[in-house]
């Protein structure tokens, strides 16, 4: 289900790119998606083809520890006006995850600025055009 939805969002976005108009974000709220990509249409087509070939994955489940770690880091970045994977104490994401009780089998952190909604954030992360 999530895969089909993602492909539909990507295809809608691709059509808007071809028409050179802002995407109407009918999936979330009344804002518009403003995802700018250096490689343009080629990057979106590559992403659509990649997603189509991916096996269906199990859904993610909410993790209150990771949520707390993320929220505290975002608040610290905002309070001290910086954007970095390391906090002001020099702790990496994995250190912070362990500190707040996450049994660490692996993890990652994405930092984004100026994003207005969740769909815009996801599109920016998955349409990789050399980032």
* Alpha-carbon radius of gyration of the chain: 17
pLDDT tens digits for 33-73?
555 556 778 888 988 999 999 988 787 788 888 889 889 99
Assessment of whether the complete model's pTM goes beyond 0.85 = no
Q: What is the pLDDT of residue 128?
A: 67
């Amino acid at each position: 289900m999530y895969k089909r939805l993602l492909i539909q969002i990507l295809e809608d976005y691709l059509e808007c790119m071809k028409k050179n108009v802002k995407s109407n974000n009918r999936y979330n709220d009344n804002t518009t998606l403003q995802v700018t990509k250096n490689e343009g249409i080629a990057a979106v087509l590559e992403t659509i083809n990649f997603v189509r070939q991916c096996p269906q994955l199990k859904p993610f489940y909410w993790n209150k520890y990771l949520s707390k770690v993320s929220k505290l880091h975002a608040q610290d970045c905002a309070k001290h006006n910086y954007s970095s994977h390391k906090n002001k104490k020099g702790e990496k994401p994995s250190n912070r995850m362990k500190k707040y009780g996450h049994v660490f089998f692996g993890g990652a952190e994405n930092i984004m600025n100026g994003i207005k909604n969740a769909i815009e954030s996801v599109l920016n992360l998955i349409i990789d055009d050399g980032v």
